[in-house]
């Protein structure tokens, strides 16, 4: 079975590589500029899902993923490394209690880290990983049920987590030693079993994967997308108290913000969902004070988007112009990239993947001003594997000009 799957993967990769470039221009093609790689597993029945991607110091890639284990209710941790052309180097399947890896990759003190969780104690871990996908160190963090992490400067990060004892969504700041900086802020989710159920289902993947995320605006206001007062809400806070300064309410776990990208001032790119309907805006102004509703945000219906699909966003500068990229998965299982200019006007679209079902995991602007897109593919309709697309700066320019 493994030989058969490997042949399928090799055949697909070869076909895609040939069809992706103009034969007449082959002498000018750098293999690192543009590619699609599909990564096999030594266990044919492993279903590997994408979490995040980042560049290594040698312009290769680190891939973070998860996979279903038969000895725990949580997803296991998978890490892989590639060279600059996306060619596989090695991977690590963590088999201890280190489970539930979350995005994003962190860069602390010039080294790569990611956050995960202990399967027994539920404590959050901070893991340092080298460019060969080997875990160098693992230290405990004073938090449980980690949901999301993002850099907050060069030597610290913001962590979104859940406290099941206090039944609170927690936002905290940590240094590269994992120690908590300042006072973690806790926002009550509300009483009752039904409120906590979708959170636990998210961690065990017995329910939907919910769009938990956190970060900081250019103006210094922190934000967190988590449960607050019985509903999935986008919270704004200066971390001075356990009461958010602003709340954008969703509809329990059936509506809310699914993706957010701070731009300037109170301007954001965002996506939202409401009972299965999907919406997006390349530029909108949000109130970061008071209480408002996500369903009132002016945005455009995205009829082709998959329900509950991951939405990822980034900015990129092409030919001295700034653009916003909003990426997700379509209903017919392609990865789609939507491009907006800095006024929020829609300027282009690109679809990745064909024949087999693809799903988006993460996107990352690369050091050569291209775009790395981590996703998953269902090979032969049954083997879920991670894949990596690379788009060159030239290809991206062609989409927006």
> What are 176-179's contacts with CB under 8 Å, separation 24+?
176/108, 176/109, 176/113, 176/126, 177/139, 178/126, 178/139, 178/140, 178/141, 178/142, 179/142
Output the pLDDT for position 27.
Answer: 55
Q: Would you say domain 33-309+382-392 falls under CATH 2.120.10?
A: yes
CB–CB of 66/115 below 8 Å? no
Give the residue from 173, 170, 76 showing the smallest Cα distance to 117.
76
**Which residue stretches of 242-355 are H helix?**
none
Low-confidence ranges of the chain (pLDDT < 50): 1-25
Output the pLDDT for position 23.
Answer: 33
Output the pLDDT for position 120.
Answer: 97
C-alpha angle 370/374/377, rounded to 5°? Answer: 130
CB–CB of 69/35 below 8 Å? no
Output the pLDDT for position 26.
Answer: 52
Give the residue from 271, 295, 301, 298 showing the smallest Cα distance to 284.
298
Output the pLDDT for position 18.
Answer: 32
Output the pLDDT for position 63.
Answer: 98
What residue segments make up the domains of the chain, in order of their start? 33-309+382-392, 310-381+393-401
In a 13 Å sphere around the CA of 17, the CA atoms on its Cβ side amount to 19
Residue 349 to residues 148, 157, 325, 326: CA-CA distances in angstroms? Answer: 28, 32, 9, 10
pLDDT tens-digit series, residues 193-240: 788 999 999 999 998 999 999 999 989 999 999 999 999 999 999 999
CB–CB of 141/160 below 8 Å? no
Output the pLDDT for position 6.
Answer: 41
CB–CB of 119/139 below 8 Å? no
Is residue 301 exposed (0-12), middle (13-18) or buried (19+ Cβ within 10 Å)? exposed
């Amino acid at each position: 079975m493994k030989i058969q799957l490997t042949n399928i993967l090799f055949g697909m990769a070869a076909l895609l590589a040939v069809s992706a470039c103009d034969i007449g221009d082959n002498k000018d093609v750098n293999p690192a500029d543009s590619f699609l790689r599909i990564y096999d597993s030594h266990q044919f029945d492993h279903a590997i899902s994408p979490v995040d991607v980042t560049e290594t110091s040698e312009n290769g890639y680190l891939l973070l993923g998860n996979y279903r284990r038969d000895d725990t209710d949580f997803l296991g941790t998978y890490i892989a490394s590639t060279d600059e052309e996306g060619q596989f180097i090695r991977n690590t399947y963590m088999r201890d209690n280190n489970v539930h890896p979350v995005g994003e990759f962190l860069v602390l003190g010039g080294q790569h880290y990611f956050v995960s969780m202990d399967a027994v104690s539920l404590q959050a871990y901070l893991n340092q990983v080298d460019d060969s996908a080997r875990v160098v160190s693992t230290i405990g963090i004073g938090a449980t049920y980690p949901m999301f992490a993002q850099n907050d400067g060069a030597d610290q990060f913001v962590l979104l987590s859940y406290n099941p004892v206090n039944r609170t969504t927690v936002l905290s700041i940590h240094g590269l030693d994992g120690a908590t900086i300042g006072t973690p802020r806790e926002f009550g989710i509300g009483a009752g079993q039904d409120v906590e159920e979708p959170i636990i289902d998210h961690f065990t993947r017995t329910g939907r994967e919910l769009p938990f995320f956190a970060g900081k605006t250019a103006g210094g206001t922190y934000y967190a997308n988590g449960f607050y007062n019985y509903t999935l809400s986008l919270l704004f806070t200066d971390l001075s108290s356990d009461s958010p300064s602003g709340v954008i309410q969703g509809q329990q776990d059936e509506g809310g913000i699914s993706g957010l990208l701070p731009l300037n001032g109170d301007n954001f790119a965002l996506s939202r969902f409401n009972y299965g309907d999907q919406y997006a805006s390349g530029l909108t102004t949000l109130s970061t004070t008071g209480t408002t509703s996500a369903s009132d945000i002016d945005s455009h219906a995205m009829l082709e988007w998959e329900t509950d699909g991951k939405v990822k966003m980034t900015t990129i500068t092409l030919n001295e112009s700034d653009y916003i990229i909003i990426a997700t998965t379509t209903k017919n299982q392609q990865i789609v990239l939507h491009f907006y200019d800095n006024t929020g006007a829609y300027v282009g679209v690109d679809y990745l993947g064909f024949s087999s079902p693809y799903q988006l995991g993460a996107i990352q602007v690369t050091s050569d001003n291209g775009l790395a897109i981590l996703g998953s593919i269902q090979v032969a309709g049954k083997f879920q594997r991670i894949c990596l697309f690379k788009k060159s700066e030239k290809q991206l320019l062609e989409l927006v000009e």
